[in-house]
Amino acid sequence: METGVDWIAQHGYGSLFVLLMLGIVGLPVPDETLLTFVGYLCFKEKLHIVPALATAFLGSASGITLSYVLGRVVGVQVVSKWGPYLHLRPDHLAQTQRWVARWGKYSLLVAYFIPGVRHLAALVVGASALSLTVFAPFAYTGALLWSATFIGLGYVAGEEWSQLSSVLHPTLIIGAIVVMLVLASVLLVLRRRGRLS
């Protein structure tokens, strides 16, 4: 984490873009911690909130697009071969495949918020041959929500951002479960009313 935080502190927006893009693809980058730190830097007025949010969104969107393209071109076999080098276990892939099979394109909205799933969701969706025109709105909306959430948390936390970052992972897992339950309820209601195909 220190290296990523140092890079962003020294090089600003460019390093934020590269780190988030590589983190979404699957390299071991502490994405939420970096975004929270960026929010803190905006609080300290060392970065500006609009360019920081735009950069975070573009880095995340680029990473998820690259994962989607890899899924389309080489399929999920790449995870079996390269997964150990990227700290991705076979159970991560199996969990993501079940999740995407159940929720489809809607899984892209919340995949960013679930560590382990965010790195594989686009790869699995790409391998399933979901069209880019369906993939893009859901994936990019998720990227914007995710980036804004953690930059906003860092901005609001201010000087306490580092204490906040230490509890992010367990909180994310609990939050993701709550979000999935709410999303499942909404989708169920919409399906029953015939508004969702």
Per-residue pLDDT, 56:
96
Q: Where are the domains of the chain?
A: 2-192
- Amino acid 174: pLDDT: 60
Banded pLDDT at 55 (limits 50, 70, 90): very high
Tell me how far apart the alpha carbons of residues 152 and 68 are, in angstroms, rounded to a whole number.
Answer: 27
Q: Which residue has the higher pLDDT, 30 or 82?
A: 30
The residue that leads in pLDDT, 183 or 112, is: 112
Does an H or E element contain 115, and which? none
**What are the residues whose beta carbons fall under 8 Å from the beta carbon of 28, sequence distance 6 or more?**
86, 87
pLDDT, residue 2, reads 56
Mean of pLDDT over the chain: 78
* pLDDT tens digits for range 137-158: 989 999 999 999 889 888 888 8
Rounded average pLDDT over 67-92: 71
Find out whether 119 and 86 touch, Cβ atoms under 8 Å: yes
Task: Specify the pTM.
Answer: 0.74
Distance CA 58, CA 17 (A): 7
Is the predicted pLDDT of residue 48 greater than 80, yes or no?
yes
CA distances from 46 to 42, 55, 107, 147, 167 (A): 6, 15, 34, 18, 24
Q: What is the pLDDT of residues 21-41, one digit of tens each?
A: 998 887 778 888 888 889 989
Decide: 84 and 56 in contact? Cβ < 8 Å. Answer: no
